[in-house]
Amino acid sequence: PNSGFKFDNVKRNQLLNDKGFMVPTATKTGTTIVGLLYKDGVVLGADTRATSGTIVADKNCRKIHYMAPNMYCCGAGTAADTDFTTEMISSQLALHSLNTGREARVVTAMTMLKQYLFRYQGHIGAALILGGYDVTGPHLFTIYPHGSTDKLPYVTMGSGSLAAMSVFESQWRPGLSRDEAVEMVKDAIESGIFNDLGSGSNVDVCVITKGDVEYIRGYSQPNQRVAKEQSYRFPAGTTEFIAPKTRTPAEEATAMDVSA
């Protein structure tokens, strides 16, 4: 069979549209993912809500994916696309490292990702933030679903990206310490969580430095359930109801007889 995407349903969808039926649409996705450079490395952050349209499908999913021992990648968009795209490129990076006998460079992973996504013209819904530390220092990239890339000191992506970017634009500066960088990432993700319905739950953080990675699940949990202020158990008989009455089939037939 031929590889790649098939568009056999295009004519079918057009026919349904002509007959007045609603054309199938893509499910709306939601996420807030961010990354920034600080003086010793890179900090990545993500929320943990997975949505299916207006339904929260998972309250604590992982959006920061392993790529190589020295780099990780945040994913926004279609969950299956981000999972399998990062997993496939991670496998190719492992083979690359074995063949060369060297640690993979971040720019190598970025090139593999952008060439793969460009090949499918945006039909793979994966918006990615790639961060890592290699022999040339710390690096931070964004990769868009169509294959374009940016290299910036701080980046945001996903439906909550504007809220997160407002935090970075107002607070980021060169030479941040580790604690300042992690707190800024936390504040940016929480800004997305509280201002975007597609983002929610907890904050995951990944700190990448030379020769070391610290992946912190649930670094901040701003949406924990609190105890109810009072008991909502009511005594029996609080609500009145009509006593049930059982009818026989004969009584039911008489009750339904409207011939008279």
- φ, ψ dihedrals at 248, nearest 5°: -80, 165
Q: Which of 29, 31, 86, 108 is catalytic?
A: 31
3-state SS assignment for residue 11? helix
User: Using one digit for the tens of pLDDT, what is the confidence trace for 95-106?
Assistant: 999 999 999 999
Q: Is 31 a catalytic residue?
A: yes
pLDDT at site 82: 97
- Residue 232 to residues 63, 70, 235: CA-CA distances in angstroms? 37, 52, 10
User: Using one digit for the tens of pLDDT, what is the confidence trace for 167-226?
Assistant: 999 999 999 999 999 999 999 999 999 999 999 999 999 999 999 999 999 999 999 988
Average pLDDT of the residues in 15-25: 84
Q: What is the CA 175 to chain-centroid distance, rounded? A: 29
Please state, in angstroms and rounded to a whole number, the distance separating the CA atoms of residues 163 and 181: 17
Please state, in angstroms and rounded to a whole number, the distance separating the CA atoms of residues 45 and 250: 69
User: Using one digit for the tens of pLDDT, what is the confidence trace for 119-178?
Assistant: 999 999 999 999 999 999 999 999 999 999 999 999 999 999 999 999 999 999 999 999
Please state, in angstroms and rounded to a whole number, the distance separating the CA atoms of residues 105 and 110: 9
